[in-house]
Structures are given as structure tokens and as C-alpha cells.
Structure 1
Amino acid sequence: MFDRLEAELSLLLTQMENQPEDRHEMYLSLREKLNEMRAFGMPVPDDILELERALEAEFLETKM
């Protein structure tokens, strides 16, 4: 399970780098994967948590 989620997370990060115009869609997918990891009690790497917070702040700013 962890390996699958880790692979999906890696793919999402690669997509974010290659397709920056789809950042919001990727952010939503990232949150979904991280929530799955949390639900299973899996650790979320600190750098990914920082990315999640940064993206959340970015999209909250654009809503205002």
C-alpha cells in the first residue's frame, strides 16, 4: 500500500513540474493521496508537507 501511494505521489510531483498550468488540479490530487496516507497511519515526508502547505497558501491567495 505504502509503495503504491509513494509511487502515485512521485508521479503527481513530476506532473506538477512538467505541467505547471494544471497546478490546482495536481494540488487536489496531492491532497487526496496525502489524506490516504494519513488515513492508513503512514508518515508523510516533511518536504511533501511543506509543499502541501505552500500550495494551499497559494490557492487561498488566489481565491481572495
Structure 2
Amino acid sequence: MAFEQLKAGIALILEEIEKRPDDRHILQEQLREKIAEFRAMGLPVPEDILRLEEQLGDDDADDIYDNMPV
């Protein structure tokens, strides 16, 4: 049951990321907290969730260069 509740919580966070892209950084932290809950309970973290979290992190790395003068 806990596994399904965590997955449902992640689904809600993903919906919010789509609706509020400007708040993505805040929501990404919530996603990391959910992933930590999976691990704390000894549950496997779904691969698609891990890939998404990595992709969001990569997007953050790209954001560093958005305002750099060329």
C-alpha cells in the first residue's frame, strides 16, 4: 500500500510540474523527498522516476548558462 501511495504522490508532483513550470525547482525538491521516502522504506524506486529526476537535474545545470553573456 505504501508503494502505491508514494507513486500517487509522485504523480501529483509531476502534474504540478506540468501546470506550474516556473515552480519546477520547488517541485523537484518535493520529488527528491518522495524518492528518499522510497529508499527509507526499502522500496525500489521506479526507473522512470529516477530518469525523470535526473533529467530535471540536467535541465537545472543548463539553466546556469541561460543568462551568461556570449
Which runs of no fewer than 5 residues in structure 1 stay unpaired?
A: none
Relative contact order (C-alpha < 8 Å, sep 6+): which is higher? 1
Shift of 1:25: 0.5
Which runs of no fewer than 5 residues in structure 2 stay unpaired?
A: 66-70
**Distance in 2 between residues matched to 1:61 and 1:40, nearest whole Å:** 32
Give 4+ residue runs of structure 1 displaced > 3 Å after superposition: 60-64
**Identity, % of aligned positions:** 42
Q: Is the radius of gyration larger for structure 1 or structure 2?
A: 2
TM-score, normalised via structure 2 length: 0.78
Quick check: which one's helix share is greater? Answer: 1
Aligned length: 64
TM-score, normalised via structure 1 length: 0.85
